[in-house]
């Protein structure tokens, strides 16, 4: 996904994470209670993901439940699932899942929609077996030339059918991801996500996942303090702030507002490091898991470097604002944050 050096990047002299930060694993004291990590591979068995996350010193990690570019996958063996649950529980890490890329629950084709729904049901079952609290899902795409409204209604209808009526405690929630808006992609405008969540009317089962690279490419100017303030004000206004269950920390190789989805190492893209500072220092997200989805050409080392590049933001607090803000933290924000960790710990404790 990563492209070669670009002219404008050289001109701007953006400090690259690789040039600034060593590839040393993180230590818990450096994370000061934040849930920080990366997407980790499940190659060689899902329990290997725990090893990989521990090697880098993460406190949170995202995994796929199966190959993300295939419809079918061998069933998850019970011993594999229990090995993961044990290891994950012992690690104390916050794990959550990401659903496959082929799914399109908004499809105008009933056949593709049914296939997507079945695949998602299978992924939810896998997540349940692994004790994951939620799955991040791409909202999908509208048909070519179609207005998004019709596609969004189909999506809401199908998502509702995912959980049988009257079922008790939701075991695995769905976090709809903010997208870059490529082609006829849905979910790149906050109003679409807020419409969906209102329509679904089930805050325990449905939340959202912010992706910094997607937000930037979609035209939300989160790089500057004023842009970030406007963005979070819109999140609050649309009642989405309290529904943020996870954040993807990615820089963008595509320009602001380009509606193109190209992830880049932190500080190497058009978004820049300071955007991540604003997110890390925002008390609204102090208990929301944040994970990288940046290129991994040198294995776990790239993840360590990318996280080390933004760690200084955790200790450098903006004077006079953080405590004040924490005291005034929105009640709805508190509710969502209390909800997430409790649920994970509950699931983990049951598994041990």
Name the phi and psi angles at 173, rounded to 5. -90, 170
The CB-of-136 to Zn ion minimum distance in angstroms stands at 6
Specify whether the backbone of 166 is left (phi greater than 0), alpha (psi in -120 to 50) or beta. left
Establish whether 214 is a catalytic residue. yes
Question: Is 248 tagged catalytic?
Answer: yes
**Which two structure tokens, joined as six digits, stand for 18?**
């690789």
Q: What angle do CA 234, 240, 241 make, to 5 degrees?
A: 80
- Let me know: does 260 contact 180? Beta carbons within 8 Å: yes
Taking the C-alpha atoms of residue 141 and residue 159, their distance in angstroms, rounded to an integer, is 14
What minimum distance in Å lies between the beta carbon of 179 and Zn ion? 8
DSSP 3-state assignment of 255? coil
Please report how close the Cβ of residue 309 comes to Zn ion at its closest, in angstroms: 22
Q: Determine which one of 77, 101, 201, 316 is catalytic.
A: 101
Query: 94 or 348, CB closer to Zn ion?
Result: 94
**Active site (annotated) includes residue 98:** yes
Closest to Zn ion by CB, 175 or 336: 175
**Catalytic one of 11, 69, 324, 328:** 69
Alpha-carbon distance of 121 to 78, in angstroms, equals 17
Angle between helices 190-200 and 148-160 (to 10 degrees): 40
Element (H, E) at 220: none
Quick check: 102 and 69 in contact, CB under 8 A? yes
Burial of 301 by CB count in 10 Å (0-12 exposed, 13-18 middle, 19+ buried)?
A: middle
Q: 14 or 197: whose CB is closer to Zn ion?
A: 197
CB closest to Zn ion, residue no: 177
Is 261 known to be catalytic?
yes
Q: Which is nearer to Zn ion, 177 or 303 (CB)?
A: 177
* Catalytic entry in 39, 52, 126, 138: 138
Least separation in angstroms between residue 338's CB and Zn ion is 25
Nearer to Zn ion, 2 or 86 (CB): 2
Distance of CA 113 to the CA centre of its chain: 23
Q: Quote the least distance from Cβ 32 to Zn ion, whole Å.
A: 27
Give the active site residue among 18, 123, 177, 282: 177
Nearer residue to Zn ion within complex by CB, 73 or 329: 73
- Helix-helix angle 110-130:78-91, to 10 degrees: 60
Q: Where do contacts with Zn ion occur on this chain (CB under 5 A)? A: 177
Residue 319 is encoded by which pair of tokens? 């004077």
Catalytic residue among 52, 154, 263, 284: 263
Options 261, 264, 282, 303, the catalytic residue: 261
DSSP 46: T
Smallest distance from the beta carbon of 4 to Zn ion, in angstroms? 24
Residue 293 annotated as catalytic: yes
Please indicate whether residue 177 is annotated as part of the active site. yes
**Which helix or strand (DSSP H or E) is residue 249 part of?**
strand 244-249
So which residues are the catalytic ones? 69, 98, 101, 138, 177, 211, 214, 248, 261, 263, 293
């Amino acid at each position: 996904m990563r492209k070669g050096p670009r002219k404008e990047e050289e001109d701007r002299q953006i400090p690259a994470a690789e040039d600034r930060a060593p590839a040393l694993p993180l230590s818990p004291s450096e994370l000061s209670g934040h849930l920080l990590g990366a997407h980790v591979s499940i190659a060689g068995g899902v329990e290997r993901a725990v090893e990989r996350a521990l090697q880098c010193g993460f406190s949170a990690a995202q995994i796929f439940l199966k190959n993300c570019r295939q419809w079918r996958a061998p069933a998850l063996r019970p011993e594999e699932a229990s090995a993961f649950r044990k290891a994950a529980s012992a690690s104390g890490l916050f794990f959550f899942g990401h659903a496959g890329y082929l799914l399109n629950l908004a499809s105008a084709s009933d056949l593709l929609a049914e296939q997507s729904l079945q695949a998602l049901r299978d992924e939810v079952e896998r997540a349940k077996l692994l004790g994951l609290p939620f799955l991040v899902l791409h909202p999908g795409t509208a048909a070519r030339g179609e207005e998004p409204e019709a596609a969004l209604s189909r999506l809401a209808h199908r998502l509702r059918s995912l959980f049988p009526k009257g079922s008790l405690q939701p075991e695995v929630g769905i976090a709809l991801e903010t997208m870059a808006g490529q082609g006829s992609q849905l979910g790149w405008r906050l109003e679409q996500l807020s419409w969906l969540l209102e329509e679904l009317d089930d805050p325990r089962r449905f939340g959202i996942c912010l992706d910094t690279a997607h937000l930037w490419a979609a035209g939300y100017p989160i790089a500057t303090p004023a842009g970030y303030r406007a963005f979070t004000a819109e999140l609050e206004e649309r009642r989405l702030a309290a529904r943020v269950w996870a954040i993807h920390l990615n820089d963008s190789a595509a320009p602001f507002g380009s509606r193109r989805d190209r992830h880049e190492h932190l500080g190497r893209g058009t978004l820049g490091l300071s955007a991540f500072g604003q997110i890390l220092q925002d008390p609204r997200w102090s208990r929301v898991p944040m994970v990288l989805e940046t290129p991994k050409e040198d294995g776990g080392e790239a993840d360590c470097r990318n996280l080390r590049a933004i760690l200084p933001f955790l200790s450098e607090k903006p004077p006079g604002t953080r405590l004040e803000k924490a005291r005034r933290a929105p009640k709805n924000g508190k509710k969502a944050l209390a909800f997430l960790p409790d649920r994970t710990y509950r699931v983990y404790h049951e598994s041990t």
